A = this chain, B = another copy of it.
Amino acid sequence: MVNVGINGYGTIGKRVADAVSLQPDMKVMGIVKAHPDYMAFVASKKFKIFISDSKSKKLFEDAGIKVEGTMENLVDDSEIIVDATPDDVGKLNKPFYETHKKKAIFQGGEDHDLTNLSFNSYANFKDAWGASYVRVVSCNTTGLIRTIFPLTELGKVRVRANLVRRATDPNDHKKGPINSIEPDLKIPSHHGPDVRSVIKDLDIQTMAVKVPSTLMHVHFVNVTFDKEVSRDDIIENWRRYRRLMFVSGKDEVKSTSQLMEIARETGRMRSDLYEIVLWKEAISLKGSELFYYQGIHQESDVVPENIDAIRSMMQLKEKEDSINETDKSLRIGELAYGR
């Protein structure tokens, strides 16, 4: 039983905390919250609460939230920390984990060189074996790797991907854009280099726009193979990967809002959709060029990767066993319709 500490309880932290709780081989020792807000109160019903600054102890207690200790206490209690603090804060926390000789997982908001080891369960599970510091790549990058890695098994590929990014997460009431389309003027966008932090030497270029939606990202992906492949081979190979799912407009699944409705119908916690979605009829092969769309639930797709990263770093289970265990616990694959 591995003792896991969760530092940060935002979009990713709260999901990873619940996912860890579902595993037979790991346990949540507590979560770190900076402020005694409503979400801290909700968290306190499930997890021990630790605070990032001991000075805020009274504020938490005044709010009726029991404080177990400080971040330092949680780090002492844990064998591994999942750092799900805001972008670039993980970097500030790393020396602290080092001082306390504790392993840590960081998220995609940190740079690759914080750990020099970026992670995706399919692509490089074993690279993290026994490692002390690992970065789980971002939601978009995870989505790209989930579909591209299986394609690299069929031949050498050249990838051109354009990302239509959701503006912000559903709970965010402040950010935009609303009624505007905002291109990322830096080409390539950071996603291409980020994919290469896992799949080295991949020929990939990415561009991205932000659009007024909160539900999911959608990617346009164009992949050129260096040899002849068939559409059937591609689909059969993707089918081997449970964290991909196929949908069809024929079944009235034509948009991200309908995908989210399917997720809600599953009864999964928070109506999450961990799987990367492929629209089957839009998977098109013209010569050696493949075109497809994929849908990414930005809030949840990296959750299974965080669990597998813990197993690899703690040397708990081999790749396939870890993925199977994670997927079973999160019920990944049960939505696989018409596979």
- Residues of A whose CB lies within 8 Å of any CB of B are 160, 162, 164, 166, 177, 179-183, 185-188, 205, 207, 209, 211-218, 220, 222, 249, 254-258, 279, 281-282, 284, 286, 289, 291, 293, 295
Contact present for A220 and B209 (CB under 8 Å): yes
For A166, the chain B residues whose CB sits under 8 A away are: 181
For A162, the chain B residues whose CB sits under 8 A away are: 162, 220
Given A185-B249, A187-B282, A187-B284: A212 and B209 interface contact (C-beta under 8 Å)? no
- A54: min CB distance to chain B, Å: 41
How many identical subunits does the complex contain?
2
Given A162-B220, A220-B207, A220-B220: A213 and B282 interface contact (C-beta under 8 Å)? no
Given A282-B185, A291-B187: A218 and B212 interface contact (C-beta under 8 Å)? no
Contact present for A213 and B255 (CB under 8 Å): no
**How far does the alpha carbon of A227 sit from the alpha carbon of B295 in the complex, in Å?**
35
Contact present for B215 and A212 (CB under 8 Å): no
- A250: min CB distance to chain B, Å: 9
Given A164-B164, A207-B293, A220-B220: A183 and B213 interface contact (C-beta under 8 Å)? no
For A293, the chain B residues whose CB sits under 8 A away are: 183, 185, 207, 209
Contact present for B209 and A218 (CB under 8 Å): yes
Contact present for A179 and B282 (CB under 8 Å): no
For A180, the chain B residues whose CB sits under 8 A away are: 213, 215, 255-258
Which 10 A/B pairs are nearest by Cβ-Cβ distance? A180-B257, A182-B255, A211-B211, A187-B284, A162-B220, A183-B293, A181-B218, A185-B282, A185-B249, A180-B255
Q: List 26 A-B contacts (CB under 8 A).
A: A162-B220, A164-B181, A177-B213, A179-B257, A180-B213, A180-B256, A181-B213, A181-B216, A181-B217, A181-B295, A182-B256, A183-B293, A185-B279, A185-B293, A187-B282, A188-B284, A205-B289, A207-B282, A209-B218, A209-B293, A211-B211, A211-B213, A212-B212, A212-B213, A220-B220, A222-B222
For A220, the chain B residues whose CB sits under 8 A away are: 162, 207, 209, 220
For A258, the chain B residues whose CB sits under 8 A away are: 180
Contact present for B181 and A211 (CB under 8 Å): yes
- A180: min CB distance to chain B, Å: 4
**How far does the alpha carbon of A207 sit from the alpha carbon of B254 in the complex, in Å?**
15
Chain B: which residue is nearest A182 at the CB level? B255
Contact present for B254 and A182 (CB under 8 Å): yes
For A254, the chain B residues whose CB sits under 8 A away are: 182-183, 185
**How far does the alpha carbon of A286 sit from the alpha carbon of B158 in the complex, in Å?**
14
Contact present for A255 and B212 (CB under 8 Å): no
Given A164-B181, A183-B279: A286 and B216 interface contact (C-beta under 8 Å)? no
- A214: min CB distance to chain B, Å: 6
**Which of these, B211, B249, B279, contacts A212 with CB under 8 Å?**
B211
**How far does the alpha carbon of A186 sit from the alpha carbon of B256 in the complex, in Å?**
17
